């Protein structure tokens, strides 16, 4: 059974055991309100909304209370029982006059192999007076499906990883995506994971030691680097960063790659690493080690360190010279520096390594946006990157599936009008 279904049962059981508090009351009211609206129960909704109620959906459409209740009453389809939902990221803030409830929900799909394809972020605003609680605001925003959370064993550490599984049946190729120096890479993986999985690749985003879901496994690298730079200077920071990246941080990435290789749904000969910023550095270091990978893509690796650190420049060049697998180098033109792509391409060419390098057009506004191109620009780079790293077989016919389906359609006679 799907991992998130098991999580849902555990969450629901834990909630049932909690003592009732003011926050619990707001939570229960809010979940009941969501169910009433989603199940088109017009009478329940009419009984709880305030006179100044407003609802906002994903498209930004506005409805007042009367419009919402009317639309619920006129719903033309059969109403189904409320589904089982996973509620996560719950935040509740109370005041003397009301409360705000923010949470993310995913409907548990039916069937052993069924997959949820999206989740919803709900924001509910409650007002409270002598007559009790009334719902004054309701917003729902569709978001990507919640990932499975799995454990990756790295030495003695238990790291957490976010996993996005593509639709259909495996085996699947896999992208192990390496995050940068973010204290919490959750939002990064929520950006790249669904976008890559939608293209048929299994995606694993491991939270390396000290970051995000693995924050309790070691000190955070960014915090360490900030302290070293403050006390010892830039050179000491670069030296420590390189030691961590080619040591324990790469070990964590290698552990996720090994986990992918042992998974029954994965094509072991089609495992790739893609990374951005420090993750791009790790992609290049992984290519140097090999790790059973078919290819690696380095986006913006060392772009923020290249101009000011000879140590970073030389270590990256060394990794390029020693690469054991094909490498794609990519950056946006407005990154902090595009020299890593330009210079490392020269190293790869001189060493006779298979590679492709491209400085893409400007992305967003300013170097911060440009530096995040490998995260937020998947739609712009994926086909080119994977067309190089994972080309289809020479005899591959992209229309073969369509031709097979057409052959299976029986001929029918069409009556003349």
In whole angstroms, give the CA distance from residue 199 to residue 202. 9
Q: Does residue 7 carry a pLDDT above 90?
A: no
pLDDT above 70 as % of the chain: 87
Region 108-123: mean pLDDT is: 74
366 confidence band (pLDDT: 50, 70, 90): very high
pLDDT digit string (tens) for 242-295?
Answer: 999 999 999 999 999 999 999 999 999 999 999 999 999 999 999 999 999 999
Candidate ranges 3-7, 14-18, 249-253; pick with highest mean pLDDT: 249-253
Cβ burial 333-344 (10 Å sphere, 16+ → b, else e) = ebbbbbebbebb
In whole angstroms, give the CA distance from residue 98 to residue 100. 7
Distances (CA, A) of 367 to 280, 339, 363: 16, 14, 9
Q: Does residue 331 carry a pLDDT above 70?
A: yes
In whole angstroms, give the CA distance from residue 53 to residue 148. 36
User: Model pTM greater than 0.85?
Assistant: no
Residue 292 falls in which region: left (phi positive, over 0), alpha (psi -120 to 50) or beta? left
Q: Which H helix or E strand runs over 310?
A: helix 310-321
Structure confidence at residue 59 (pLDDT):
80
Q: In whole angstroms, how large is the CA radius of gyration of the chain?
A: 25
57 confidence band (pLDDT: 50, 70, 90): confident
Token output for 137: 């605001």
The CATH code of domain 3-144 reads 3.10.450.50
CATH topology classification for 148-389: Rossmann fold (3.40.50)
Domains 3-144 and 148-389 share a fold: no
Structure confidence at residue 134 (pLDDT):
95
Q: Does residue 300 carry a pLDDT above 50?
A: yes
- What residue spans of 322-355 are helical by DSSP H? 339-350
For the chain, give every domain's residue range: 3-144, 148-389
Asked whether the beta carbons of 377 and 335 are under 8 A apart, the reply is: no
Q: Does residue 107 carry a pLDDT above 90?
A: no
417 confidence band (pLDDT: 50, 70, 90): very low
411 confidence band (pLDDT: 50, 70, 90): very low
pLDDT digit string (tens) for 155-208?
Answer: 999 999 999 999 888 899 999 999 999 999 999 999 999 999 999 999 999 999
Q: Does residue 384 carry a pLDDT above 70?
A: yes
88 confidence band (pLDDT: 50, 70, 90): confident
84 confidence band (pLDDT: 50, 70, 90): confident
């Amino acid at each position: 059974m799907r991992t998130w279904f098991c999580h849902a049962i555990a969450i629901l059981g834990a909630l049932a055991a909690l003592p009732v508090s003011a926050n619990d009351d707001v939570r229960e009211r809010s979940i009941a309100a969501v169910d009433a609206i989603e199940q088109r129960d017009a009478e329940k909704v009419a009984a709880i909304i305030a006179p100044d109620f407003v609802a906002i959906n994903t498209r930004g459409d506005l409805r007042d209370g009367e419009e919402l209740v009317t639309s619920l009453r006129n719903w033309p389809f059969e109403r189904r029982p409320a589904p089982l939902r996973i509620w996560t990221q719950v935040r509740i803030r109370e005041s003397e006059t009301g409360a705000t409830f923010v949470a993310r929900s995913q409907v548990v799909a039916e069937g052993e192999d069924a997959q949820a394809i999206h989740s919803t972020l709900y924001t509910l605003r409650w007002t409270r007076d002598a007559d009790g609680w009334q719902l004054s605001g309701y917003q729902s925003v569709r978001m990507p499906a919640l990932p499975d959370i799995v454990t990756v064993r790295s030495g003695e550490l238990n790291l957490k990883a976010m996993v996005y599984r593509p639709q259909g049946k495996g085996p699947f190729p896999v992208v192990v995506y390496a995050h940068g120096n973010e204290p919490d890479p959750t939002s990064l993986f929520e950006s790249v994971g669904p976008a890559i999985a939608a293209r048929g690749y299994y995606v694993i985003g491991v939270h390396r030691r000290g970051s995000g879901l693995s924050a309790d496994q070691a000190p955070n690298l960014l915090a360490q680097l900030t302290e070293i730079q403050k006390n010892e200077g830039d050179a000491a920071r670069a030296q420590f960063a390189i030691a961590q990246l080619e040591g324990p941080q790469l070990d964590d990435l290698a552990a996720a790659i090994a986990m992918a290789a042992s998974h029954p749904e994965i094509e072991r000969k089609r495992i790739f690493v893609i990374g951005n910023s420090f993750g791009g550095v790790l992609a290049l270091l992984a290519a140097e080690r090999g790790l059973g990978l078919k290819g690696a893509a380095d986006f913006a690796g060392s772009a923020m360190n290249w101009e000011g650190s000879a140590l970073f420049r030389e270590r990256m060049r060394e990794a390029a010279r020693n690469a054991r697998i094909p490498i794609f180098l990519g950056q946006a033109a407005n990154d902090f520096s595009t020299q890593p792509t330009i210079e490392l391409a020269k190293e790869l060419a001189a060493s006779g390594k298979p590679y492709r390098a491209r400085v893409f057009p400007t992305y967003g506004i300013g170097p911060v946006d440009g530096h995040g191109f490998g995260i937020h620009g998947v739609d712009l780079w994926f086909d080119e990157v994977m067309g190089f790293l994972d080309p289809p077989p020479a005899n591959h016919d992209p229309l073969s599936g369509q031709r097979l389906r057409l052959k299976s359609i029986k001929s029918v006679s069409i009556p003349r009008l």
